A and B are shown apart, each in its own frame.
Chain A
Amino acid sequence: MSKLDKSDVEKIAFLARLGIDEQDIPEYATNLSNILDMVEQLDSVNTDDVTPMAHPLDAVQRMRADEVTEVNDRENLQAHAPEVEAGLFLVPRVVE
């Protein structure tokens, strides 16, 4: 049922912005189809009255006071960035 083909893999890879070599696509298609077949075992279980479990302790997010606790540490944080200029991260031109 969940047989994925080449174009499915290409589409998912683009959604994930993930480069995949052309020659590896058939293998990924097979791997992913097998994994999806494996997880389809779950379809045989009736879960109609089950509440989804998002947190292993069923806890909710703890809130904190809305106070500034971090100092500006830009230089340190940008020290190992791929490309930085004047305190800004550089990327290829987006707007002409």
Chain B
Amino acid sequence: MYNKTIAELIAGLQAGDFSSVELTQSYLERINALDEQLNSFITVTPELALEQAKQADAQRAAGNAGILNGIPLAQKDIFCTKGVKTSCGSRMLDPFISPYNATTIEKFNQSGAVMLGKTNMDEFAMGSSNETSWYGPVKNPWSLSTVPGGSSGGSAAAVAARLTPAATGTDTGGSIRQPASFCGITGLKPTYGRVSRYGMIAFASSLDQAGPMTRTAEDAALMLNVMAGIDPRDSTSVDAPVPDYSATLNDSLDGLKIGLPKEYFSEGLDDAVAKVIDAAVKEYEKMGATVKEVSLPNSKLAVPTYYIIAPSECSSNLSRMDGVRFGHRCEDPKDLNDLYIRSRGEGFGPEVKRRILVGTYALSEGFYDAYYVKAQKTRRLITNDFNQAFDDVDVIMGPAAPSTAFNIGELTDDPITMYLSDIYTIAVNLAGLPGMSIPAGFVNNMPVGLQLIGKHFSEARLLNIAHQYQQNTDWHNQTPEQFS
């Protein structure tokens, strides 16, 4: 049962081959037996899951099944879930039992989905390897000595190891696409504002976006059908029509114009990864697409721009973690400053502290124009490059990451090299564009992801482009040996 996609599970539930309770039970058993090796879950919620499954089965019997009725899912521990610990991978929120549901959780509940538990992640989504989690690193199911990527590393590992049919992730600089690439799954970061951020613990508010992490593009479409749409509780969610993302998956790619940014195939890209990407693009040519070189001349500015904007916004967002209203509080504070300083000092790990410090510095008096405003200007230059490229092409393709998964511990002493593992994904967040990573092959038995970047609100087209590739290739069906 565990090797099926959401689409196949929906068919099985509809045909009565199994119930949601049976399905949920089988995943809970798998998590119980195998997750010790991976650490992909922070919290497993068996009672809640079985109760939701029972309810889903009853709804189906009564003839009012929602679109994901009875389908088990894992939720990244960044989404507030009522009555369930919502830690965001941090000691700071280890005591936090959320009093409300994120809109995304609410929507999945309404669709009849079942929550298996909350997945591990880099602390407050700050990291590219899942090593900054207070709950310990997650292992990559393809090789347990390597990282799964981050920050949605627990979600990616759990989907790759078939501990859940699918999961949610969030992506501020690559946190869905880079782990999807490292773990050999399908990940979609929608256009900024496509999915509500309400109840999704904020990291960098002008960049954060939630999306599905699945086996296939077909499943990602099913998930996005539930997640997308305006939310009165998130004033940055966009009031744009939500198409049926499943309806156009089988559209022809004949005449599709693919742009390959020359800056994404230059120094820094692993040669073997480049070969995999070249082969994937050739596959698209066979399907009727044409390929053209494009240029994103300001690409090299993306990482420095991001490391002003993201830390600045995070230093502001994380100021709410003050030990007063929720979360960790130090013992015996002697005065209010001591309460703030020690609660935050004990609650946050080193990477979060680094970013709060950088952001506080960049926003401090006398430096605001030199750093934050300057970065907002280079952000526009980066965005203009994409707009220009999209005058000539329908989709931009390239690697999702410069290499396959690196070893646990390999980059932890070198923050800047770690930051560069997001070099191909960060610009997409700065421009607010939708992006995907889909499995495109292997280097030394480790998965490689092909990145697809589209125009604003072109998720349906991206899913179509990804789905057609998956109809013609088998990379997305590969399972890590230890978990097959």
B357 engages A82 (CB within 8 Å) = no
Chain A, range 64-86, C-beta contacts under 8 Å to B: 64, 73, 76-83
A83 to B431: give the CA distance in the assembly, Å: 42
B96 engages A80 (CB within 8 Å) = yes
Interface SS majority for chain B = helix
Which of B44-52, B251-259, B319-327 participates in binding chain A?
Answer: B319-327
A90 to B257: give the CA distance in the assembly, Å: 61
**0/1 interface trace, chain A 17-28, chain B, CB 8 Å (1 if under):** 111110010001
Which of B55-63, B107-115, B374-382 participates in binding chain A?
Answer: B374-382
A33 to chain B, nearest CB (A): 11
Chain B, range 220-274, C-beta contacts under 8 Å to A: 232, 235-236, 238-239
Cross-chain pair count, CB within 8 angstroms = 169
Is A87 located at the chain interface by the 8 A CB criterion?
no
B329 engages A19 (CB within 8 Å) = no
Set A39, A40, A57: member contacting B193, Cβ < 8 A? A57
A42 engages B301 (CB within 8 Å) = yes
B71 to chain A, nearest CB (A): 29
B325 engages A19 (CB within 8 Å) = no
Is B305 located at the chain interface by the 8 A CB criterion?
yes
A60 to chain B, nearest CB (A): 10
A13 engages B381 (CB within 8 Å) = no
Chain B, range 336-382, C-beta contacts under 8 Å to A: 336-342, 344-346, 348, 350, 353-354, 356-358, 360-361, 364, 371, 373-381
A39 to B319: give the CA distance in the assembly, Å: 23
A52 engages B95 (CB within 8 Å) = no
B364 engages A18 (CB within 8 Å) = no
A57 engages B432 (CB within 8 Å) = yes
Q: From B327, which residue of chain A is reached at the shortest CB distance?
A: A82
What residues of A have a CB within 8 angstroms of the CB of B236 in the complex?
A: 55, 59, 61
A19 to B333: give the CA distance in the assembly, Å: 13
B344 engages A18 (CB within 8 Å) = yes
What residues of B have a CB within 8 angstroms of the CB of A40 in the complex?
A: 304
B99 engages A16 (CB within 8 Å) = no
B380 engages A94 (CB within 8 Å) = no
A53 engages B342 (CB within 8 Å) = no
What residues of B have a CB within 8 angstroms of the CB of A92 in the complex?
A: 333-336, 338-339
Please tell me the size bucket of the interface on B: 35 or more
Is B430 located at the chain interface by the 8 A CB criterion?
yes
A18 engages B99 (CB within 8 Å) = no
B353 engages A18 (CB within 8 Å) = yes
Set B328, B333, B415: member contacting A31, Cβ < 8 A? B415
What residues of B have a CB within 8 angstroms of the CB of A47 in the complex?
A: 374, 377-378, 381
B336 engages A16 (CB within 8 Å) = no
A80 engages B415 (CB within 8 Å) = no
A18 engages B329 (CB within 8 Å) = no
B336 engages A39 (CB within 8 Å) = no
Is B295 located at the chain interface by the 8 A CB criterion?
no
A26 to B356: give the CA distance in the assembly, Å: 17
A45 engages B416 (CB within 8 Å) = no
B423 to chain A, nearest CB (A): 12
B99 engages A53 (CB within 8 Å) = no
Is B97 located at the chain interface by the 8 A CB criterion?
yes
What residues of A have a CB within 8 angstroms of the CB of B324 in the complex?
A: 81-82, 89, 91
Q: From A15, which residue of chain B is reached at the shortest CB distance?
A: B360
A53 engages B348 (CB within 8 Å) = no
A81 engages B358 (CB within 8 Å) = no
B334 engages A53 (CB within 8 Å) = no
Interface centre among A14, A16, A61, A76 (most CB of B within 10 A): A16
A56 engages B383 (CB within 8 Å) = yes
B232 engages A64 (CB within 8 Å) = yes
Is B396 located at the chain interface by the 8 A CB criterion?
no
Is B101 located at the chain interface by the 8 A CB criterion?
no
A62 to chain B, nearest CB (A): 5
A50 to B28: give the CA distance in the assembly, Å: 53
User: Can you give 25 contacting A-B residue pairs, CB < 8 Å?
Assistant: A9-B357, A12-B357, A16-B357, A18-B348, A19-B346, A20-B345, A31-B415, A32-B354, A35-B416, A38-B304, A41-B301, A42-B301, A42-B375, A43-B374, A52-B373, A53-B376, A53-B383, A55-B206, A57-B193, A57-B238, A59-B193, A64-B232, A79-B99, A82-B323, A83-B329
Q: Which residues of A contact B (CB under 8 A)?
A: 4, 9, 12-21, 24, 28, 31-32, 34-36, 38-43, 45, 47, 50-57, 59, 61-62, 64, 73, 76-83, 89, 91-94
Contacts A16-B315, A93-B335 known; list 5 others, CB within 8 Å. A19-B341, A35-B415, A38-B419, A50-B378, A50-B380
